[in-house]
Amino acid sequence: MIKPLLWPLMLSGLILSGCTGLGSLNRAGKPNDLYALTPKSTFSTSLPRIRQQIVVEEPTATAAVNSDQIAVQPTPLQVQYLPRARWVDRAPLFIQALLIESYENTGKVAAVGRSTVGLRADYVIFPDVREFQARVKTDPEGNETLEVHVRLNIKVVDALEDHIIASASFEELVTASSDETLDLITAFDQALGRTMRDAVEWSIRKIYSHSVSRPTPE
């Protein structure tokens, strides 16, 4: 489910300066609408329960992504932004918030939060947003679609011993059902949601395996 703020979004289309094709990308737009994506709330029932506390750091990201603007690549070498639609915050900040809420929604973590709240971490999650944009794709017949690409790299650090115990990348590609703004945001929500689900489940399992194998202090 998407949460469009400043409703209604008059679906007048997306504007990308200098981008050809995809008719609604070139139509006049309305004043800014703000969009928030949703946390993941459904997880595998086989997830182990962990007693350790987790801190999720703010994700790192390239300058192109570290923004409240919604990025679209008309070509592999170009990054442009939707001029009349924005995220509710910089992408790394709201992705951090969504990851924290997703961990909470598993019901399998003792405590999770940001380092700024003073939580004593047993394990720290360091996310890196490698991809968070839509791409204009053209098929052999010349038909153009928008494909959302989300890729997160996750490092899990043992805070007590200060070393990385696991690292992996999680990636999703979702094609928007049309080039209208709401359909594009829906594709972002689906791609990020699936990526977060996989990352959260993987990291919980890694923390559980590491914690049970750690020698008990004498």
Condensed to tens digits (0 to 9), the pLDDT of residues 48-102 reads 999 999 999 999 999 999 999 999 999 989 999 998 899 999 999 999 999 999 9
Nearest CA to 181 out of 73, 21, 34 is that of 34
Return d(Cα 98, Cα 193) in angstroms, integer: 9
Q: Identify the pLDDT of residue 4.
A: 40
Residue 210 contacts residue 165 (beta carbons within 8 Å): yes
Condensed to tens digits (0 to 9), the pLDDT of residues 40-50 reads 999 999 999 99
Q: Identify the pLDDT of residue 25.
A: 55
Mean pLDDT across the stretch 177-200? Answer: 97
Name residue 175's beta-bridge partners.
147
Q: Identify the pLDDT of residue 32.
A: 80
Structural domains of the chain sorted by starting position, each given as residue range(s) with its CATH number in brackets: 50-213 (3.40.50.10610)
Indicate the range of 57-61, 195-199, 201-205, 209-213 predicted with least confidence.
Answer: 209-213
What would the 3-class secondary structure string for 32-43 be?
A: CEEEECCCCCCC
Q: Identify the pLDDT of residue 20.
A: 44
Nearest CA to 99 out of 128, 69, 140, 131 is that of 128
Q: Identify the pLDDT of residue 118.
A: 72
Q: 56: part of which helix (H) or strand (E)?
A: strand 50-56
Condensed to tens digits (0 to 9), the pLDDT of residues 97-121 reads 999 999 999 999 999 999 876 778 9
Mean pLDDT across the stretch 154-170? Answer: 96
Mean predicted lDDT score pLDDT of the chain = 87
DSSP string, 7-54: S-------B-TT--SSGGGBS---S-EEEE--------TTPPPEEEEE
Burial per residue of 156-193, b for 16 or more beta-carbon CB atoms within 10 angstroms, e otherwise: bbbbeeeeebbeeebebebebeebbbbbbbbbbbbbbb
Q: Identify the pLDDT of residue 85.
A: 94
